[in-house]
Copies of this chain bind each other. A is one copy, B any other.
């Protein structure tokens, strides 16, 4: 069975374009997932780390939302340009990227 050191879930929920709540997919989360997958593969990290699309993670106001397990670190307002830093600092280095972590009071 799989055993991932880190498992990254990217919300790819899409709502109708006229929904005032918006959605992570509208904000570009599919591209974030793609970048994670490609970069994990390109760095030879497949098997250690995995990135998956997920349904609505209930953090819509912070989208694009990403959660990393097993530590359940939540990231908000993630962009494609943040992916390399998350992989290098957090997945490989074990240190969450603090500037992207959703704070408890938000």
**A interface residues with partner B (beta carbon < 8 Å):** 1-4, 7, 9, 33, 50, 52-59, 62, 67, 69-72, 74, 76, 102-104, 106
Contact = CB atoms under 8 A, between A and B. Distances in A.
Given A103-B1, A106-B1, A54 B57 contact: no
Contact of A9 (B3, B54, B70, B76): B54
B57 A2 contact: yes
B72 A3 contact: yes
Given A2-B57, A55-B52, A56-B52, A72 B7 contact: yes
23 contacts: A1-B62, A1-B76, A1-B103, A1-B106, A2-B57, A2-B58, A2-B59, A2-B74, A3-B72, A4-B72, A7-B67, A7-B72, A33-B55, A50-B58, A52-B54, A52-B55, A53-B54, A53-B55, A54-B55, A69-B69, A69-B70, A70-B71, A70-B72
B1 A104 contact: yes
